[in-house]
C-alpha cells in the first residue's frame, strides 16, 4: 500500500530531514539484535507515513558494519524500499542531494552494497508516477479534495438556485391563486348584487326568473309536490309617498321586507317584485299549510305600525296566492307564469274586497276549459258564480282604518 503525503506535511518534514543530516551524530549500534529492533521500529514508522524514518534509516546505513549479517542487510533493503515507496520523487531527490553534500569531499553517504538502489536514487515506479512536478504545483492528494469542494459548491449553488426558483414559482402561483380567488369572490358579489334589490336587500325579479328556469329544467318539477306563489302589495302605499315623502316610503318598504323575511319559511324565496309588491315562492307547500303562512304574514305587517324617525305609520297588506300545478292541470297547459298571473288576479280581488286581507285560489268547480275561460274574462265574477273556489284570510282587526289616515 502506498501512502501519499499532503504538501504541508512535506514542507514541514524537509527542514527536519536537513537538520538531521547535518546535525545528528552517527548512531553506533552494538549488535545485530539492536539493529533489527531499530529497523522494525522504522518499519512501524513507515506504516504511519512518518518521515522521521528517512533520517533514522540513513543513520542505520552509516553505522552498518561491513560484516553485517545477510538478515540485517535484507531487512535494511526491504525497509529502504518501503520508505522510498512512501515518499514523493521530489522529496527523494532533495534527500539524496543533502546526503551527497553532507559527505566528505562530496562523496556519497553509504553505498548500495545491498544490490538495491541507494535511498537517494530514483526508485522504480509505475509509469506516470515518476514525472517531475512543476514548481509550485499541487499533488493529486490536494487536487482531488479541491475538485470535490468545487463540485460540492456547484451542487450547493444549483440546489439553492433550484430552491429559489421553486420558491419564486410557488409565490407566483400563490399570487395567481389569490387573485383568482379574489376575482371569483368579486364575481360572486357582483352576481349577488345583480340578483338583489338594493333597497330591501331581498332577491329581485331576475333571481326569481332564474329560479323558475332551473325548476323547469330540473326533473324535480315532475314530482307530485305542490309549489305555491304569493303576491303581496302594500295597501295605499301611494298615500305614504304623497303625504310623507319618498324617503319615508323607502323606509316603509325596507321595514315591510324585513318583517316578511322573518315570518316566511327558511325554504321560501322572498322577492321584491317591483314597486310596493313582494313575491313569496314556497316550494313543497300544501295549499292547506298556506293559510298559516298568510296569517303570519298579515299579522307581522299589519299588527304593529312602522316607526320612521318620530313618525308612527300604520301599514297593511293585501295578498293573492295560487299553486302550481293548479287544480290538477298539467304544467304543460298551465305553467308557473300563468300561476303568477292567477295570483295577481287573486290579489286584485282582495283589494276589491276592502284590502288588509289575503285571497288564496283553492281550485275550480267546473270543466277545466270553461273554468280557465271564466277566470280570464273576470276573476271576481268567476268567484261569485262559484266557478273558482277561494279562501280568504283577513288581516289584523282595525288596522285598515288606521292605515287610511297615516300619522
Please say if the pLDDT value at position 148 is more than 70: yes
* Cα-based distances in Å from 343 to 293, 338, 362, 363: 15, 9, 11, 12
Of all residues in the chain, what percent carry a pLDDT higher than 90? 43
Which segments of 165-316 are extended strands (E)?
A: 227-234, 269-274, 277-282, 306-308, 311-313
The helix, strand and coil proportions of the chain, stated in percent and rounded to the nearest 5, come to 55, 15, 30
Highest mean pLDDT among 47-61, 72-86, 125-139: 72-86
Q: Model's pTM, two decimal places?
A: 0.57
Dump pLDDT digits (tens) for 203-256: 999 999 999 998 888 775 556 678 999 999 999 999 999 999 999 999 999 999
Pairwise CA distance, residues 362 & 393, whole Å: 13
> What element of type H or E holds 75?
helix 70-86
Q: What is the pLDDT of residue 265?
A: 93
Specify the pairing of strand 227-234 against strand 317-324. Answer: antiparallel
Please say if the pLDDT value at position 342 is more than 70: yes
The full DSSP string for 134-159 is PTTPPPHHHHHHHHHHHHHHHHHHHH
Dump pLDDT digits (tens) for 354-403: 999 999 999 899 888 899 999 999 999 999 999 999 999 999 986 554 54
**Average pLDDT over every residue of 293-310:** 94
Please say if the pLDDT value at position 161 is more than 80: yes
Domain residue ranges of the chain, discontinuous segments joined by +: 7-129, 138-194, 205-403
Please say if the pLDDT value at position 35 is more than 50: yes
Q: What is the pLDDT of residue 104?
A: 52
Q: What is the pLDDT of residue 30?
A: 45
Cell numbers placing 148: 470535490
Cα first-last separation, the chain: 117
Q: What is the pLDDT of residue 15?
A: 53
Q: What is the pLDDT of residue 114?
A: 41
Q: What is the pLDDT of residue 93?
A: 59
Q: What is the pLDDT of residue 3?
A: 43
**Average pLDDT over every residue of 155-173:** 91
**pLDDT, mean over the chain:** 78
Of all residues in the chain, what percent carry a pLDDT higher than 70? 70
Please say if the pLDDT value at position 129 is more than 50: no
In CATH terms, the fold of domain 205-403 is Alpha-Beta Plaits (3.30.70)
Highest mean pLDDT among 81-90, 111-120, 343-352: 343-352
Dump pLDDT digits (tens) for 165-202: 999 999 999 899 888 888 888 888 888 888 999 999 99
CB within 8 Å of 357: residues ≥ 6 apart? 298, 318, 319, 350, 392, 393, 394, 395
Pairwise CA distance, residues 140 & 107, whole Å: 35
Q: Bridge-partner residues for 232, per DSSP?
A: 278, 319
Pairwise CA distance, residues 311 & 407, whole Å: 7
Please say if the pLDDT value at position 20 is more than 60: no
Cell numbers placing 394: 283577513
Q: What is the pLDDT of residue 92?
A: 60
Question: Which one, of 154, 149, 129, 152, lies nearest residue 139 by Cα?
Answer: 129
Q: What is the pLDDT of residue 50?
A: 52
Amino acid at each position: 500500500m502506498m501512502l501519499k503525503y499532503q504538501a504541508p506535511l512535506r514542507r514541514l518534514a524537509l527542514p527536519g530531514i536537513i537538520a538531521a543530516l547535518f546535525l545528528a551524530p552517527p548512531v553506533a549500534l552494538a549488535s545485530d539484535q539492536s539493529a533489527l529492533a531499530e529497523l522494525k521500529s522504522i518499519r512501524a514508522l513507515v506504516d504511519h507515513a512518518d518521515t522521521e524514518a528517512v533520517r533514522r534509516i540513513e543513520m542505520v546505513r552509516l553505522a552498518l558494519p561491513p560484516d553485517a549479517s545477510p538478515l540485517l542487510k535484507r531487512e535494511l533493503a526491504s525497509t529502504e524500499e518501503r520508505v522510498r515507496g512512501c515518499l514523493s520523487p521530489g522529496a527523494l531527490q532533495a534527500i539524496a542531494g543533502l546526503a551527497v553534500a553532507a559527505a566528505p569531499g562530496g562523496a556519497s553517504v553509504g553505498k548500495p552494497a545491498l544490490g538495491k538502489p541507494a535511498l537517494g536514487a530514483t526508485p522504480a515506479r509505475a509509469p506516470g508516477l515518476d514525472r517531475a512536478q512543476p514548481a509550485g504545483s499541487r499533488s493529486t492528494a490536494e487536487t482531488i479534495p479541491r475538485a470535490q469542494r468545487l463540485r460540492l459548491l456547484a451542487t450547493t449553488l444549483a440546489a439553492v438556485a433550484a430552491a429559489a426558483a421553486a420558491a419564486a414559482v410557488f409565490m407566483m402561483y400563490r399570487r395567481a391563486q389569490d387573485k383568482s380567488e379574489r376575482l371569483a369572490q368579486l364575481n360572486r358579489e357582483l352576481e349577488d348584487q345583480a340578483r338583489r334589490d338594493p333597497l330591501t336587500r331581498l332577491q329581485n325579479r331576475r333571481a326569481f326568473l332564474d329560479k323558475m328556469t332551473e325548476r323547469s329544467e330540473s326533473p324535480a318539477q315532475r314530482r307530485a309536490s305542490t309549489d305555491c306563489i304569493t303576491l303581496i302589495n302594500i295597501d295605499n302605499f301611494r298615500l305614504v309617498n304623497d303625504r310623507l315623502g319618498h324617503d319615508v316610503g323607502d323606509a316603509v318598504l325596507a321595514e315591510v321586507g324585513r318583517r316578511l323575511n322573518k315570518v316566511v319559511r327558511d325554504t321560501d324565496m322572498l322577492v321584491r317584485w317591483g314597486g310596493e309588491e313582494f313575491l313569496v315562492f314556497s316550494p313543497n307547500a300544501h295549499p292547506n299549510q298556506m293559510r298559516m303562512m298568510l296569517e303570519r304574514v298579515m299579522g307581522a305587517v299589519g299588527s304593529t305600525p312602522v316607526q320612521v324617525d318620530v313618525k308612527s305609520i300604520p301599514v297593511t297588506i293585501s295578498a293573492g296566492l295560487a299553486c302550481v300545478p293548479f287544480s290538477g292541470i298539467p304544467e304543460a297547459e298551465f305553467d308557473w307564469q300563468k300561476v303568477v298571473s292567477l295570483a295577481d288576479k287573486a290579489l286584485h280581488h282582495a283589494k276589491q274586497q276592502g284590502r288588509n286581507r289575503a285571497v288564496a285560489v283553492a281550485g275550480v268547480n267546473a270543466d277545466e276549459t270553461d273554468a280557465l275561460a271564466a277566470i280570464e274574462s273576470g276573476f271576481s265574477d268567476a268567484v261569485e258564480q262559484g266557478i273558482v273556489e277561494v279562501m280568504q284570510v283577513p288581516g289584523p282587526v282595525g288596522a285598515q282604518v288606521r292605515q287610511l289616515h297615516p300619522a
